Amino acid sequence: MRIGVLTGGGDCPGLNPAIRGIVFRAIDFNYEVVGIFEGWKGLIKNTSKTLTLEEVEEIISKGGTILGTSRTNPTKKEEDMQKVFENFKAMNLDALIAIGGEDTLGVANKLHQKGLPVVGVPKTMDNDLSCTDFTFGFDTSVTIAIDALERLRDTARSHRRVMVFEVMGRHAGWVALYTGIGGGADWILIPEKSVEVDKMCEHLKKAHARKKYAIVVVSEGVQLPSANAEKEELDAFGHMILKKRGIGEAIAEEIEKKTGIETRTAAIGHIQRGGSPTLFDRILGTRVGVKAVELIQEKNFGKMACLKGNEVIAAPLSEAVSTLKTVDESWVNFANKLIK
């Protein structure tokens, strides 16, 4: 049997451990693994190579993806969808493993519905995929963010400033929430909750009076009604590209205007995506990669390997991509207990 594997969407630490886990488990079943380059683009253009044990044996500690990635969406054009099916046959594939987030797995689900034997592996540093407790990439990205926050704390304390720290996460606030809680921030802004500017500024004045500095963590997807953020272009999946919104700058301006305290901002951006994966992401990436091959061996297609508690199980792709997993009220309440 020949299994194709691709990595689509944004890169994150843990992709290479997942690829490695796939190859290692495939060897047990005498399956051949074909790496498809640059996500769905590789299936459209028929670019791939066989992945051997020697090629993947030492990639467990490497960030990014050895296969490359893209945000190509084959469902936008009928001819691209046709190419996907044609090249699946041209590569002599018997099954396909798609590693990605809601967009990549959304395409995988549509292909499964059209008869392609496909299984999914969830990845996203945003941790916003349903049916799984965590996705690999998240733990590493938050660990990097907390390290950056601690460095910002030093300069905030030295200059008696408020520091606004903008993190990634798109339209789910998990990265900001965990960074803020784990880094001991004085205020956390997430897309799921409206910004209470006056309440935030009053609290920051108290925090600053007590310790001579304050830290605010803001998710890139937060909406600030008073900010005139220009409309962004959309990506191939119809999502607004957030890079030019500058929400951190807008929040910092509001804080300085209302508190009179010198306020600076920093955005970690794509630094969160790179670097060696943490132990958690190495283990999780490996486990879901192994599980994906076992789902193929069982002919259990249309499913995604996911983490529930401490078990890696199968969940329908259709359920995994049906709704975005966002921060719920219980987490908001927990975070509020730590704002003093």
- The widest CA-to-CA distance across the chain, in whole angstroms, is 68
Which residues are CB-contacts of 301 (< 8 A; sequence separation ≥ 6)?
95, 112, 117, 118, 119, 295
Residues 9, 40: Cα–Cα separation, whole Å: 9
The yes-or-no answer on residue 198 being catalytic is no
Task: Name the active-site residue from 126, 128, 139, 281.
Answer: 126
Amino acid at residue number 243: K
Nearest CA to 111 out of 101, 96, 121 is that of: 96
The region that residue 229 occupies, defined by phi over 0 for left and psi between -120 and 50 for alpha, beta otherwise, is beta
- Bridge partners, residue 214, by sequence: 162
Cβ-Cβ contacts under 8 Å for 191 (sequence gap 6 or more):
169, 171, 172, 173, 219, 221, 222, 223, 326
DSSP state at residue 48: E
Map residue 321 onto helix, strand or coil.
coil
What CA–CA distance (Å, rounded) separates 340 from 338? 6
92 by Cβ neighbours in 10 Å (0-12 / 13-18 / 19+) ranks as exposed
Closest CA to 270 of 64, 41, 46, 113: 64
Residues of the chain by 3-state class (helix, strand, coil), percent to 5: 45, 20, 35
Residue 27: which residues within 8 A CB-CB, separation 6 or more?
53
Element housing 96 (H / E):
strand 95-100
Catalytic site positions: 126
